[in-house]
Amino acid sequence: MEEKFQSGFVNIFGAPNAGKSTLLNLLLGERLVITSSKVQTTRHRILGILTEDNYQIVFSDTPGIIEAKYKLHEKMMQQVKSALEDADIAIIVHDINKPIESLNELMGMLKLKSRAILLLNKTDRLSGDIPLADILAEYTAAYPKWDILPISAKTKHNTEQIIPLILKTLPEAPPYYTDDNISDRNERFFVSELIREQIYALYEDEIPYHAAVFIQAFEEKSTLTVIKADIIVSRETQKMILLGKGGAMIKQLGINARMSMQEFLDRKVHLELFVKVRPHWRDNENHLREYGYNS
Ligand SMILES: Nc1nc2c(ncn2[C@@H]2O[C@H](COP(=O)(O)OP(=O)(O)OP(=O)(O)O)[C@@H](O)[C@H]2O)c(=O)[nH]1
Ligand SMILES: [Mg+2]
């Protein structure tokens, strides 16, 4: 008798900062997508492919759902929409410390068609004022058809139960990707993301939201990989902040980004960064396309 093989698309949705990307990395067992303590870190739909003997789950990380204020936001929400279209299963990540109303509002914006698993994340941060059973009862009453699981992507509380929940209804189908694929994106993309991750970690206020990264060169030499990247910002003042006094901040950014690239590529990296000002790039179709926001 032939062994059963399950395969399908499991797309992760939720509010900004809910922990979607952290969860994807945990499920894949490696640090593929970037995360930060700030909102709106993820800007693309990014596939993370988990292949085991009897199943292949094609996860999609997506940007946190927001009301679009500029064209970059619109592009981000188009990525969410595309993930809505082909989901076999939707995973909704919601911060359990946030009111249920914020989830209700989000679900009103997201027109879900598929089966959903609701993960109530960040249980490690629960204050304990209200018993967990009472919180769960509230969500179960509001979403009676969904599987609901309280988890912590940080401490891994209950996270071993997620894959079995998915496999309960993942379609029987041959794999979509060969087992050497872990994503639909290339190294160049992930390297640019690692620079953005450091921008989110190092700079405050509007800087991360006005920054894009463009990889000019990615050359594999015999002993190391040479990477040249532009960091795009909207204003001269932002460029000054990025550089920092005497270039101290950009130097730190370069060091941090290079270290995470070396870990990701498992190779020595030589990194050169250039800061460029492109006014209103977030609302400019051509710039957006150039920097990889093409949908
Ligand atoms: N305490 C706690 N923090 C968590 C947990 N899961 C994620 N975080 C933190 O929450 C923050 C946001 O995590 P991300 O994974 O970047 O969130 P996201 O939903 O992908 O956010 P966007 O890409 O902006 O939509 C990070 O600082 C994470 O470390 C958790 O279970 N507990
Ligand atoms: Mg994210």
pTM above 0.95, yes or no: yes
CA distances from residue 83 to 104, 131, 151, 180 in whole angstroms, order as listed? 19, 34, 23, 23
Cβ(291)–Cβ(193) under 8 Å? Answer: no
Q: Is the CB of 7 under 6 A from ligand 1?
A: no
- Spatial contact of 209 and 40, defined as CB atoms under 8 Å apart: yes
Rounded percentage of the chain residues whose pLDDT exceeds 70: 99
Percentages (nearest 5) of helix, strand, coil residues in the chain:
40, 25, 35
Per-residue pLDDT tens over the stretch 148-190: 999 999 999 999 999 999 999 999 999 999 999 999 999 999 9
Domains of the chain: 6-167 (3.40.50.300), 187-290 (3.30.300.20)
- Residue 19: the pLDDT is 98
> What is the Å distance from ligand 2's center to 238 Cα?
24
| pLDDT tens figures, 71-112 | 999 999 999 999 999 999 999 999 999 999 999 999 999 989
Centre of ligand 1 to C-alpha 21, Å, is 7
Q: Which amino acid is at 168?
A: K
113 CB contacts (<8 Å, ≥6 apart)? 84, 87
Query: What's the CA gap between 190 and 197, in Å, rounded?
Result: 10
Instruction: Give the DSSP H/E element, type plus range, for residue 236.
Output: helix 236-243
- Ligand number nearest CA of 13 is 1
Return the pLDDT at 26.
98
Nearest Cα residue to 272 out of 223, 210, 206, 213? 213
pLDDT of residue 111: 87
**Ligand 1 atom nearest to 39, measured from its CA:** 24
Once rounded to an integer, what is the mean pLDDT over residues 136-144?
A: 97
pLDDT tops 80 at residue 2: no
Across the range 197-219, mean pLDDT stands at 97
Helix crossing, 187-202 with 248-265: angle to 10°?
A: 140
